[in-house]
Amino acid sequence: MKKILVACGTGMSTSTMIAQRLQEYLTAQGIPVSTSQCCLNEIPYNCSGMDLIVTSMKVDKDYGIPTLNGAPLLIGINDDVLKEKIKALLSQ
């Protein structure tokens, strides 16, 4: 099972929406995942053991784990491109 950390400003609303959309998409693709949520500033304390970090905004820090901006999952623009990138990363 792949593990995804989803982070937003407060670790609540936006990260919940992104996490739900990731779960739905990846389950439909046959990729079992579990998601955890946190605030952006809590990423360093929560990223251990994660396969992917998805944030609600651009993050420049390198956590040693693939980190993607998940905003397209919220607004629906270019979300297919992001979904395919996520699928490729988690299928490795």
Residue-wise pLDDT for 53-83, tens only, equals 999 999 999 999 999 999 999 998 889 999 9
- Positions annotated as catalytic residues are 8
What pLDDT score does 33 carry? 96
Does the pTM surpass 0.85? The reply is: yes
Q: Which domains does the chain have, with CATH numbers?
A: 2-90 (3.40.50.2300)
Phi-psi region at 49: left, alpha or beta (left = phi > 0; alpha = psi -120 to 50): left
How many Å apart are CA 50 and CA 73, to the nearest integer?
A: 20
Please check the confidence at residue 10 and state whether its pLDDT lies above 90: no
Taking residues 5-17, report their average pLDDT.
91
